[in-house]
Structure 1
Amino acid sequence: MQFLNPAVLLGLVAAALPLAIHLLHRGRAQPHPFSDFAFLRQLQQNRMRRLQLRQWLVLLLRTLIIVLIICAFARPTYQAGGGWGGGDRPVAVHALLDLSYSTRYQQPSGSLFDQLQRQLGDLLAVLPPRDQVAVQPFAQRPHAPFAGDRDYLAERIAELAPTQEATDLRSALHAAAQRFDQESALAAHELFLFTDLAQYNWDQLDDSGPSFADARVYVASPRTQTRPNAYVERLAAPSWMLAADAKVTLQTAIAHSGAGTALDLFADGQRVRRHSVDPGAPGTTQVALSFSPRRPGRLSGHVALADDALALDNRRYFTLDLPTAITVLLVGEQPEDAYYARRALGAAALSDPVVKIRTDLSANLDANTIVGVDVLVLCNLARLNA
């Protein structure tokens, strides 16, 4: 048995107050001569014994109430395998520390990961030295666990930082179960999970995962209530061929909860569009951002949300190839073989000046014919000559 706030135990001195009050107010009976009735005297003695017993029981209850209240404020903890009735056998303690990107969420008191680090440090401070403690960071995969004395563990924990990966809790639990199998000779096993409770991929946990029936499992999370956040869930460019000076529309999906935000579109390092995302019920908002590229060639850009408490998921990048011209060569054995293909592509070329259409006969097809051709369409050919 240990106490997280042992200084509060000094308040046990107050447990003596009921006894002191009882003794101070205890009056001394004054004898008064009366007629000699022996049976009345015997009856008085019997009643006084019962009354005194009742008074002592009430005094004991009052003292116990004060003691229990003080012990509750001292925050008692029980360490399996040690203390009362547990012997002195060590306990295998495995602490999983979440390093996923969502632990970067910033609050006035610091990031969620800072809180998890402090909570893990508080745990190490109260664990008995005999316990075998291992700390294993995890994100998309479990990292190598490390063990040692408390000072070494504290140094290693202070060096950790959140990654840019998502969380895979299943693989981390499998790693913890493997260590418990290796430490099966110990008296007890305890698993501590330090996570921000984002619960990413938690729905994929099922009964086929590792069982911790013989272990105590504790989940520690940051002290926070609401976490408003918005992030770019998806960014898609049009599938049709793009051209400079023609309008390009990017389709974006913004997932948000609790707060509105602004979405900016950057192309070639310059902001070309801004759109406001109104706050409302948590969900996903579809936003179409249109702009006209100023030059042909390869164009890079990104969409970005306004800075919030979790900046890592606020951007999505894209790259567009804007050709100056796309030459399409239609080849057939007879001029009429390319008729339908020429009509279909010609309709598209009316709205897309990038597309250039040429036609020729298969008898004229050679290496010089296809120079500068981007797309070659063979129309109704009976066979290809070697």
Structure 2
Amino acid sequence: MTFLNPAILLGLLAASVPIIIHLFNRRKLEIVEFSTLKFLKELQKTKIKRIKLKQIILLILRVLIIVFLVFAFARPAIKSINSSYGSSSSKSTGVLILDDSPSMAIIEGRGSKFSKAKHLMKSIMNFYQDGDDIIIYYASEPDRNYKFNTPEQAINFFSKKSVSEKPANLLECLKKASDILKRSSNINKEIFLLSDLQKDNLNSVDSISAYFNSEGINFYITDFENSQKVNYSLNSISINNRIFELNKEISINVAAKGNTGDRVLSLFINKSRAAQKRIEFENGNRISEDFTVTLKETGLLQIHASLEEDDFDYDNSFYEAISIPEIINVGLIYNDIEEITFIKSALEVEEGKSIKTTTI
């Protein structure tokens, strides 16, 4: 036999209380005999036997009540005799909710919050054994869960997980976890929530914890609390030009936001650095910077703006794309040739380079 809560067995010490009280009540008192009472001795002997019997029965009942209460809270479980079952008949169902939202990518100390959360999940797996029900939810996809029957399978699965770009929906995950545990017939029912508990995700942790406790579900929260971190982010890239030509300059505007301080902002075109500036941030205000670059390639060009690394790299880059034609086709439609004389002359300067004119 095993006990699910062996620490409660210390309560068996309380079973000695009725015995101690009984012994105190049995203290031998000084007997003073009176001649007038001697005739009652025979009656006393018979009565006292009955009283002692009642006291012993009451003592046994009191001790048993305490012992049974302690055993009830210790939750005894009998191991299966049939070896084909392989493990204790008291199975567990554990639901682990891993917050994989972008905020978990923030670097703290030697690693991100997300890597620390996964490391903690590996430690939690030590409390489960083969045959237990292990269900994993990722906070970014509350409508989907992953079920495993061995800790090793679960570890191999979530070890490969990376941070998602989707926001977390912790409340919906908790609702789904609650439904699963209510349907479970296993004795142990547990929920582990590993998150940084962003305000937009979960507001009433205390009430949620109280609800699960009332349902007989053990609820554990690991809060990877947000501390003040250095973060700079890029918000947009906009191209100020409308016509793009090879070997011509274009103007690119980059908007950014961040803590007070300075950061290097780089602009890349097709992965080649085209420009770089050191920009100043102040009090989290939004700023914008203009870059002027010369287009040296034709075709589809990827424009990539990037800030140097900080504690949260997920918002340090922004992308845009433009298409540069090898030849710009220009059609001149006229009724009278004199109407297009000046325009045609101007275009002929670039004729054969990047502009091809057609008159109709």
Q: Would the TM-score normalized by the shorter structure come out above 0.5?
A: yes
User: Relative to 1, partners in 2 of residues 1:137 and 1:287: Cα closer, same or farther, differing over 3 Å?
Assistant: same
Report the counterpart of residue 292 of structure 1 in structure 2: 294
- Deviation string for 1:158-192 (max 9, x for gaps)? x2331453234166446435523542x56685433
The offset of 1:96, in angstroms, is 0.7
The offset of 1:264, in angstroms, is 0.4
- Deviation string for 1:243-289 (max 9, x for gaps)? 12332122222232465421101224432211223243235332322
Report the counterpart of residue 110 of structure 2 in structure 1: 109
Q: Which amino acid aligns with 1:167?
A: P
Q: Aligned with 1:232: secondary structure?
A: strand
CA distance in 1 between counterparts of 2:72 and 2:230 reads 44
Q: Aligned with 1:180: secondary structure?
A: helix
User: Relative to 1, partners in 2 of residues 1:281 and 1:232: Cα closer, same or farther, differing over 3 Å?
Assistant: same
Report the counterpart of residue 119 of structure 2 in structure 1: 118
Report the counterpart of residue 269 of structure 2 in structure 1: 267
CA distance in 1 between counterparts of 2:198 and 2:286 reads 18
Q: What RMSD over aligned residues (CA atoms) do the two structures have, in Å?
A: 4.5
Q: Aligned with 2:180: secondary structure?
A: helix
Contact persistence 1:100–1:140 (CA under 8 A): no
Q: Aligned with 1:281: secondary structure?
A: coil
For residue 329 of structure 1, the aligned residue among 320, 328, 331 is 331
For residue 235 of structure 2, the aligned residue among 233, 236, 247 is 233
Percent identical across equivalent pairs?
15
Q: Which amino acid aligns with 1:134?
A: I
User: Relative to 1, partners in 2 of residues 1:165 and 1:257: Cα closer, same or farther, differing over 3 Å?
Assistant: same
User: Relative to 1, partners in 2 of residues 1:119 and 1:322: Cα closer, same or farther, differing over 3 Å?
Assistant: same
Report the counterpart of residue 51 of structure 1 in structure 2: none
CA distance in 1 between counterparts of 2:239 and 2:328 reads 19
Contact persistence 1:265–1:271 (CA under 8 A): yes
User: Relative to 1, partners in 2 of residues 1:314 and 1:86: Cα closer, same or farther, differing over 3 Å?
Assistant: same
CA distance in 2 between counterparts of 1:243 and 1:175 reads 55
CA distance in 1 between counterparts of 2:124 and 2:163 reads 23
Contact persistence 2:260–2:280 (CA under 8 A): no
Identify unmatched segments of 5+ residues in structure 1.
4-8, 10-81, 206-211, 361-386
CA distance in 2 between counterparts of 1:151 and 1:324 reads 57
Q: Aligned with 1:235: secondary structure?
A: strand
Q: Aligned with 2:165: secondary structure?
A: coil
Report the counterpart of residue 166 of structure 1 in structure 2: 166
Q: How do residues 290-369 of structure 1 correspond to structure 2 at under 5 angstroms?
A: 290-331=292-333, 334-335=335-336, 358-360=358-360
- Deviation string for 1:95-122 (max 9, x for gaps)? 1112344433333232212221233344
Contact persistence 2:137–2:146 (CA under 8 A): yes
Q: How do residues 12-161 of structure 1 correspond to structure 2 at under 5 angstroms?
A: 84=73, 92-125=93-126, 132-140=133-141, 144-150=145-151, 152-157=153-158, 159-161=159-161
Contact persistence 1:99–1:137 (CA under 8 A): yes
Contact persistence 1:140–1:167 (CA under 8 A): no
CA distance in 1 between counterparts of 2:347 and 2:301 reads 22
Q: Aligned with 1:287: secondary structure?
A: strand
CA distance in 2 between counterparts of 1:224 and 1:323 reads 48
Q: Aligned with 1:294: secondary structure?
A: coil
- Deviation string for 1:188-222 (max 9, x for gaps)? 854332123456x749x9xxxxxx77566544232
Q: Which amino acid aligns with 1:114?
A: S
CA distance in 2 between counterparts of 1:152 and 1:302 reads 40
User: Relative to 1, partners in 2 of residues 1:2 and 1:307: Cα closer, same or farther, differing over 3 Å?
Assistant: farther
Identify unmatched segments of 5+ residues in structure 2.
11-70, 78-89, 205-210
Q: Aligned with 2:104: secondary structure?
A: helix
CA distance in 1 between counterparts of 2:113 and 2:166 reads 15
Q: Which amino acid aligns with 1:110?
A: G
The offset of 1:331, in angstroms, is 4.0
Q: Which amino acid aligns with 1:161?
A: K
